[in-house]
Amino acid sequence: MNTALGLHSLATSDGELVYRDTGGTGQLVVLLHAGFVDHTMWDAQISALAREFRVIAPDARGHGRSANASRPFRQVDDLAELLRHLGAGPAVLVGVSMGATLAVGTALEHPELVRALVVSGGGGDTREFTEPWSEQARAAQFEALVAGDIERWQDASDAWVHGPGRPREAVRAETYARLREMRLRTIGKHTLDEPDHHLPVRDLDARADRITVPVLSLNGAQDAPELRDMAESVARSAPRGRIAVIDDAAHFPNLDHPDEYTRIVRDFVHGLDR
């Protein structure tokens, strides 16, 4: 593993989990990526936050450079194993989409490892999309994936990047290109007929009021309404929740406005000790 780039690996009973670790002794901040991509979606935040905090950014099992699963597993247990292996924590968990759901699940299943949560575009139980735009976008993704048409699947996945309220041109071409590269790295590790071994944590919505640590919902204003509501409902249910919104951003606010996103996260982490 390329430790010069801060990349390390943890050998588990079902293959290696790869993670980036900036080191240091500051507050631990763990950045949790969205589905089908990997930890490099956080490059801008890693370099900025590492000036003040210790930052860890793992590739979830089956994503990026981490091993695929060969048997049932839970992402929350993988993350807990990594943090215990490092002797690190409690951590501020920062997650987008799938990463937000992982953050919430970890706070419920392994609360001793969590100092606070920042969740964007997710964090609740899987639910049906009811808005026409969201229904069409999800259906287009699914149909392209089942057909094995990767280019059409990429196009359908790009829709979530600009969201229902903005034209495609509102997002930098570089952002689409980076996400497409990440998606290819992950989807290339899998076949359509392989089983999905991931076991989700259940009843996240019903148990959100049991989260006792501070929660920040940090959504893009142009993200799909159902996804914004997932993150906001966690903040509303948790005893110490608050809500912030980044304008002119959708499902990846950290990529749309990296400086603003990083500033809000940094201020939130500093505020934990006040």
219 and 266 share a domain? yes
Angstrom distance (rounded) from CA 255 to CA 265: 14
Q: What is the residue range of 246's domain?
A: 3-128+194-271
Q: Are residues 10 and 77 in the same domain?
A: yes
Residues 119 and 226 occupy one common structural domain? yes
pLDDT value for 1: 60
List CB contacts of 56: < 8 A, sequence separation 6 or more. 19, 20, 21, 22, 28, 29, 30, 31, 82, 86, 88, 91
CA 30 – CA 108 distance, rounded (Å): 16
Q: Is the pLDDT of residue 209 over 60?
A: yes
The pLDDT value given to residue 3: 59
Q: How far is Cα 189 from Cα 240, in angstroms, rounded to an integer?
A: 39
pLDDT above 90 coverage of the chain, percent: 89
Kindly state whether residues 21 and 101 are assigned to the same domain: yes
* Size (the chain), residues: 274
CATH number of the domain where residue 122 is located: 3.40.50.1820
Q: Are 97 and 120 in contact (CB under 8 A)?
A: yes
pLDDT of residue 5: 67
What is the number of domains present in the chain?
2
**pTM of the entire structure?**
0.96
Indicate whether 19 and 147 sit together in one domain: no
Do 203 and 88 have their domain in common?
Answer: yes
* Residue 91 sits in the same domain as residue 160: no
Q: What is the pLDDT of residues 240-268, one digit of tens each?
A: 899 999 999 999 999 999 999 999 999 99
* Judgement on whether residues 41 and 144 belong to the same structural domain of the protein: no
Question: Final residue of a domain: which of 187, 210, 232?
Answer: 187
- DSSP assignment, residue 214? -
Question: Is the domain of 243 the same as that of 230?
Answer: yes
Both 117 and 23 in one domain: the answer is yes
Strand order in the sheet with 7-12: 7-12, 15-21, 54-58, 28-32, 91-96, 114-120, 215-220, 241-246
Asked whether the beta carbons of 9 and 17 are under 8 A apart, the reply is: yes
Q: Does residue 173 share a domain with residue 75? A: no
Q: Clarify whether residues 95 and 40 are in a common domain.
A: yes
Gap between the Cα atoms of 42 and 31, Å rounded: 7
